[in-house]
Amino acid sequence: MVTINSVTSLGNMDGVAVIAIDSPPVNALSALVRDGIFSAMQQALSDPLVKAVVLRCEGRTFFAGADITEFGKPPAGASLAEVQKILEESPKPVIAAIHGTALGGGLEVALVCHYRIAVPTARLGLPEVNIGLLPGAGGTQRLPRLVGVEVALEMMTAGTHIQARHALQLGLLDQLAPEDDLNAAAIAFARKVLDESLPLRKVRDMGEKLETARAQPDIFSHFRQANARKFRGFQAPEKIIQCVEDAVNLPFEEGLQRERQRFSELLQGEQSQAQRYYFFAARQISQIPGLDKNAAVLPVNSVGVIGAGTMGTGIAMNFLNAGIPVHLVETGQEALDRGLRTIRSNYESTAKKGRLTLEAIEQRMALLTSSLDLADLSEVDLVIEAVFENMEVKKELFSRLDRICKAAAILASNTSALDLNEIASATTRPESVIGLHFFSPANVMKLLEVVRGSKTSDSVIATSMNLAKKIGKVAVLVGVCPGFVGNRILGQRQREANALLMEGAMPWAIDRVLYDFGFPMGPFAMSDLAGLDLGWSKEKSSSSTLREVLCEMGRRGQKTGAGFYDYDDKRTAIPSSLVEGIIQDFARKQGKQVREVSDEECLERCIYPMINEGAKILDEGMAIRPSDIDVVWVNGYGWPVYRGGPMFYGDQIGLPRVLAKMQEFESRYGPQFKPARLLEELVASGRKFSDLSPAH
């Protein structure tokens, strides 16, 4: 083995040089790595004893892509294009040997090698779309040549990773290697190429699959149409499609040049900035400053869930899916049976869509036990209560759990609104009490707010964060305050959306503005979907809010065919002139002056108070860092990831502008717009949210 530099080693095995890159954690193609490959290739090419080259990586993975942290910085070292050129034009065969993940630029490097082999657990993909980019190192030109246009479009616009076996079927790989013997298999493959004088295969020269696409002129318009909803608002997917169109219609070099041009446009654009920010934000949530690094992560091998309603059943499914036994407790047999039926029927409908086998359903259901007796939870490692949101009920329940559960058990509440510290005070072990705030439907939604009480122990926090990962949740640690982080900020938007109605903006106008901003739906369409009668009772209703008036008229949302909107039998929302009249009437009774409200005002009135509230949350230490708030909003509330999150958006449009608008609204509409102290402070010192250091 010859050490070329700190990251690359070159060994010569019987005429086959092995270039092994070692750049933890994920062998991203940094300047150092690119230089390493380039100089090792130069050496291999000039050494007459070397007849073929194997390119592989040490550590947990093949190249995971370009080094995202280098984007936007001045270029350094050999460019990726230079590295690819020396590999592709090598007169000696080059074989990529893949383990872990070959992603983005990493796969694009493999695509310029003459052959590719991988272990069965390897995964391959061009996921640049997830960070608002397109594969910019020839991926859009080479992939369709190798796997065909349809598969390439799907892979690149969805950003999915595909398994090695599938990649082999698609032609992306030439051979699978034994899991624990990649190096030897790659060398043997190289020897075979030499011995059998196999050609130096260059993907760029393959044209057959493009011919097939040329015979299907509608292929691109169909693809655009089929994915229109999914791609809405995002720039990268359309640019990927355009690149693939070029791959089909233009000579290779020209296609490559256009790909580079579009890549750099996206790289400089706001969407990719936001999505790259989000990539790191999502990875930071598990870093908790001040948490004792030695805090014990407790084993959670059994879970008790109290309450078999929508939340409880959804919560239970998370653990069943992860192979963790659940005991479900209810107060009445009928409710319990209903809950059990819900779980089974949820699984059955997943199975009908082909995403679960019947055997898997039975395996999961076999992990589920149930009863009407809290005492049955005495031995579980974690209890999650998902009962009625009432402080007295919860306190009573926790004091009983305190007596029933074993000493090491974690006692969790799924409350979305109540004071966790008060709930914990009903026990003799507040250090074991934590909030696990799941979002509905709990078996689908990724977000989990982990609520740390004032006495929650580090061990209970560490265990909860760890467990959340195990069940596939995006867990964000937050503090105890009304609505925690997500709902507290939502409250601001909701208040303003309602106020705007009374000033003359119609529900569909406000919804359209927020939909165009990138939310999946606006607040009124959302309310109709959830049901306007949530928490409403006929007996207590007194026509005192617009919602009450609508409910009293039987307009209770989508399920009754009418709410803020009218609905046809396909559940299409249609603006209602009746509701328009009701709103105007209601506003008049309240003495409001109806006026023309601009789209711009709708957006600013809904969004800026959210940013302001985020600043208050940070100031109070209820979220660790601004990007944690953004992760909450992207995962729990449909904030478009290409706008980063409310805090990133605030930074992007400029905090002085947000502050000036809040001041203007405060003087015009009242104290609900009072700027947060932190917002004022940041503007005064010329800083941004991203300049803040994490709170302990």
Which one, 105 or 644, has the nearer CB to ligand 3H9? Answer: 105
| Strand, helix or coil for residue 134 | coil
Nearest to 317 by CA among 406, 440, 405: 440
Q: How far apart are CA 536 and CA 650, in angstroms?
A: 35
Here's the x/- map for ligand 3H9, 338-377, by CB under 6 A: it reads as ----------------------------------------
Residue 648 CA: distances (Å) to CA of 253, 313, 523: 38, 35, 22
| Strand, helix or coil for residue 30 | coil
CB 121 within 8 A of CB 102: no
Contacts to ligand 3H9 from residues 82-101, by CB under 6 A: 101
Q: By CB under 6 A, how many residues form the interface with ligand 3H9?
A: 26
244 binds ligand 3H9 (CB under 6 A): no
User: Which residue is associated with the tokens 């509701």?
Assistant: 579
Residue 590 CA: distances (Å) to CA of 503, 574, 637: 11, 26, 31
For 461, counting Cβ atoms within 10 Å of its Cβ (0-12 exposed, 13-18 middle, 19+ buried), the class is buried
How many Å is the Cα radius of gyration of the chain?
Answer: 29
Which one, 135 or 312, has the nearer CB to ligand 3H9? Answer: 135
User: Pairing between strand 115-118 and 175-176?
Assistant: parallel
102 binds ligand 3H9 (CB under 6 A): no
Which one, 160 or 183, has the nearer CB to ligand 3H9? Answer: 160
Which residue stretch of 67-75, 380-388, 426-434, 662-670 sits at the interface with ligand 3H9 (rule: CB under 6 A)?
67-75
Among 4, 56, 97, 128, which residue sits at the site for ligand 3H9 (rule: CB under 6 A)? 128
User: Which residue is associated with the tokens 């190289």?
Assistant: 190
Which one, 136 or 523, has the nearer CB to ligand 3H9? Answer: 136
Q: How far is the CB of 307 from ligand 3H9 (least distance, A)?
A: 33
Q: How far apart are CA 479 and CA 420, in angstroms?
A: 9
Which residue stretch of 89-97, 128-136, 166-174, 206-214 sits at the interface with ligand 3H9 (rule: CB under 6 A)?
128-136
Which one, 54 or 66, has the nearer CB to ligand 3H9? Answer: 66
Which one, 280 or 669, has the nearer CB to ligand 3H9? Answer: 280
127 binds ligand 3H9 (CB under 6 A): yes
Any residues with CB less than 8 A from the CB of 633 and at least 6 apart, and which?
486, 489, 639, 645, 646
Which one, 28 or 683, has the nearer CB to ligand 3H9? Answer: 28
Q: Which two tokens stand for residue 531?
A: 């049901």
What is the DSSP track for 532-561? TTTT--TTT--S-SHHHHHHHTT--BGGGT
The amino acid that residue 476 corresponds to is V
**310's torsion region: left (phi>0), alpha (psi -120 to 50) or beta?**
alpha
Contacts to ligand 3H9 from residues 419-458, by CB under 6 A: none
469 binds ligand 3H9 (CB under 6 A): no
**Cα 430 from chain centroid (whole Å):** 32
User: Which residue is associated with the tokens 């026990």?
Assistant: 427
Which residue stretch of 66-74, 222-230, 345-353, 500-508 sits at the interface with ligand 3H9 (rule: CB under 6 A)?
66-74
Q: How far is the CB of 158 from ligand 3H9 (least distance, A)?
A: 13
Q: How far is the CB of 121 from ligand 3H9 (least distance, A)?
A: 13
Q: How far is the CB of 271 from ligand 3H9 (least distance, A)?
A: 14
Among 5, 6, 42, 69, which residue sits at the site for ligand 3H9 (rule: CB under 6 A)? 69
Among 93, 104, 523, 614, which residue sits at the site for ligand 3H9 (rule: CB under 6 A)? 104
Which one, 122 or 659, has the nearer CB to ligand 3H9? Answer: 122
Among 35, 108, 246, 449, which residue sits at the site for ligand 3H9 (rule: CB under 6 A)? 108
Among 17, 26, 241, 436, which residue sits at the site for ligand 3H9 (rule: CB under 6 A)? 26
Q: How far is the CB of 137 from ligand 3H9 (least distance, A)?
A: 4
Which one, 648 or 665, has the nearer CB to ligand 3H9? Answer: 648
Contacts to ligand 3H9 from residues 266-325, by CB under 6 A: 280, 283
198 binds ligand 3H9 (CB under 6 A): no
118 binds ligand 3H9 (CB under 6 A): no
Q: Which two tokens stand for residue 545?
A: 């809010």
Q: How far is the CB of 274 from ligand 3H9 (least distance, A)?
A: 15
**Cα 355 from chain centroid (whole Å):** 20
CB 468 within 8 A of CB 450: yes
Which residue stretch of 103-111, 476-484, 517-525, 626-634 sits at the interface with ligand 3H9 (rule: CB under 6 A)?
103-111
41 binds ligand 3H9 (CB under 6 A): no
Which residue stretch of 126-134, 140-148, 339-347, 443-451 sits at the interface with ligand 3H9 (rule: CB under 6 A)?
126-134
CB 243 within 8 A of CB 140: yes
Nearest to 163 by CA among 104, 98, 113: 98
67 binds ligand 3H9 (CB under 6 A): yes
Which one, 242 or 663, has the nearer CB to ligand 3H9? Answer: 242
For 432, counting Cβ atoms within 10 Å of its Cβ (0-12 exposed, 13-18 middle, 19+ buried), the class is buried
CB 145 within 8 A of CB 106: no
Give the 3-state secondary structure of 188-248. Answer: HHHHHHHHCCCCCCCHHHCCHHHHHHHCCCCHHHHHHHHCHHHHCCCCHHHHHHHHHHHHH
Which one, 28 or 412, has the nearer CB to ligand 3H9? Answer: 28
Q: Catalytic positions, please?
A: 108, 128
Among 19, 33, 64, 288, which residue sits at the site for ligand 3H9 (rule: CB under 6 A)? 64
Which residue stretch of 10-18, 87-95, 131-139, 439-447 sits at the interface with ligand 3H9 (rule: CB under 6 A)?
131-139
646 binds ligand 3H9 (CB under 6 A): no
Q: Which two tokens stand for residue 101?
A: 């993940």
259 binds ligand 3H9 (CB under 6 A): no
Q: How far is the CB of 248 from ligand 3H9 (least distance, A)?
A: 20
Among 93, 132, 136, 614, which residue sits at the site for ligand 3H9 (rule: CB under 6 A)? 136
Q: How far is the CB of 695 from ligand 3H9 (least distance, A)?
A: 19
CB 363 within 8 A of CB 351: no
611 binds ligand 3H9 (CB under 6 A): no
Among 40, 54, 66, 632, which residue sits at the site for ligand 3H9 (rule: CB under 6 A)? 66
Contacts 24+ apart (CB under 8 A), 511-520: 512/599, 513/599, 513/602, 513/603, 513/606, 514/602, 514/603, 514/606, 517/603, 517/607, 517/640, 517/643, 518/233, 518/639, 518/640, 518/642, 518/643, 519/637, 519/638, 519/639, 519/640, 520/638
Any residues with CB less than 8 A from the CB of 344 and at least 6 apart, and which?
361, 365
User: Which residue is associated with the tokens 């709410």?
Assistant: 563
138 binds ligand 3H9 (CB under 6 A): no
Q: How far apart are CA 294 and CA 325, in angstroms?
A: 27
Kindly list the residues in this chain that would bind ligand 3H9 in the complex (CB under 6 A). Answer: 25-26, 28, 61, 64-69, 80, 101, 103-105, 108, 127-128, 131, 133, 135-137, 139, 280, 283
